[in-house]
Amino acid sequence: MIHQITGRTRLGGLLGSPVSHSISPMMHNDSFYELGLDCVYLCFDVGQEKLGNVVNALRDMNTYGFNLTMPNKEAVLPYLDELSLAARIIGAVNTVKNENGKLVGYMTDGIGYMRSAKEAGCDVTGKEMMILGAGGAASAIAVQAAIDGVSKLHLVSRKSRSWEKAEKLVLKINENTNCQADLTDLADNEALRELLSSTALLTNATSVGMSPNKKATPLQDVSLFHPGLTVSDVIYHPRETRLLAEARAAGCKTFNGMYMLLYQGEAAFKIWTGQDMPTELIKKRYF
């Protein structure tokens, strides 16, 4: 496959540090090629200290847009002109579209997760959902779930430094969406049991269970699982965490975070180009 660069080729890419491990260039450049779009996507190792200069340069060069990863998802906000509803509630951005010099920020991580949940056969519209964690992934998923019509959202966190952040997230969701959000201490096992009895989807949005700590799990009590519950993990290395293995053994449906990565990229591609990514082709090649 040869991607022909011309005098009209438009540039975009990923800003973060480190970025050399990213598969986003393969996903997007293959998609551009398959659809005949004269665009290219590159990775740029850029930290917060140079972010402003780089963003302004990308604006001036009439790029189609760019993605952001750590440590730039929040740091980019002062350089943008407009935010989507989800990005505004979360206070972070992973996708920017350049609209003739106006930079509009979006958050597609939650879109990717909700799309992967539906593909796994778990549509939680009008149902209850529980999310473990209060970090970036948890915030993106929680806000998008609320926007997409989850009726009740149970956020679960430890009473540590993340507790105050979780409280603010609950407040923002309740103020800006029709979803009813609440917060529970991870150590309160009986409260978790009661909430899970009416919950359709439990999502681990923490890093607990990720390689190399594959024996760890955010929920120690396997009696909390029940067959009517779907359990997911944003982790995909390993493909089946201890949480998912124990949930599956208890009769729960399960899925991991592999396709969240794919579908957040699909959403960004749509924002930039207005066209649908050839997702099934990309899935076969890289997932």
Tell me whether residue 127 is one of the annotated catalytic residues.
Answer: no
In the chain, the largest separation of any two C-alpha atoms, in whole Å, equals 64
Q: Taking the CB of residue 92, how many other CB atoms lie within 10 A of it?
A: 23
Q: Is residue 4 part of a domain?
A: no
140-187 tens-digit pLDDT: 999 999 999 999 999 999 998 889 999 999 999 999 999 999 999 999
168 and 239 housed in the same domain? yes
120 and 216 housed in the same domain? yes
Set 50, 73, 152, 165: catalytic member: 73
192 and 146 housed in the same domain? yes
Q: By the 8 A CB rule, do 156 and 131 touch?
A: yes
108-147 tens-digit pLDDT: 999 999 999 999 999 999 999 999 999 999 999 999 999 9
- Give the CATH number for residue 150: 3.40.50.720
Number of domains in the chain: 2
pLDDT number for residue 73: 97
Q: What is the pTM of this model?
A: 0.94
Q: By the 8 A CB rule, do 116 and 140 touch?
A: no
205 token code pair: 């949005």
150 and 167 housed in the same domain? yes
122 and 241 housed in the same domain? yes
Provide the domain limits for residue 227: 110-256
Q: Is residue 3 part of a domain?
A: no
Which of 133, 175, 187 minimizes the C-alpha distance to 155? 133
Q: Is residue 74 part of a domain?
A: yes
- Give the CATH number for residue 102: 3.40.50.10860
93 and 229 housed in the same domain? no
Q: By the 8 A CB rule, do 235 and 204 touch?
A: yes
229 and 275 housed in the same domain? no
165 and 221 housed in the same domain? yes
* Residues of the chain scoring pLDDT < 70: 1-2
